Amino acid sequence: MARLDVKSVPKPGEVWLSCPPYLMLAKIVDVDLVTEPPVVSYELHDDDGSLLQAVEHATLDRGWWQTFQRLEPRFG
């Protein structure tokens, strides 16, 4: 397995937010860290929650972290 130079790796069930100028949500379906390069599958939703596209086996590389950031739940 290649070493990922990142602080966090997406996990199935998490929601990630696209970075500006777009506002889309990526709901993580699957992550495969065994393949070379590692890949992520996700559903891309618009800000209203409508499904835009299902993406399978997108390369989990520096571009992923430049495009998406983990959506951190906030309470109160």
Helices and strands, counts by H and E, the chain: 1, 5
31-53 residue pLDDT tens: 999 999 999 999 999 989 999 99
> In whole angstroms, how far apart are CA 62 and each of 51, 54, 69?
25, 20, 12
Q: Which residues have C-beta within 8 Å of that of residue 49, sequence separation ≥ 6?
A: 25
> Where in the chain are the domains?
15-70
Helix ranges (H only) for the chain are 62-67
Tell me what the mean pLDDT of segment 51-65 comes to. Answer: 94
| Global confidence as pTM | 0.83
Confidence of residue 2 (pLDDT cuts 50, 70, 90): low
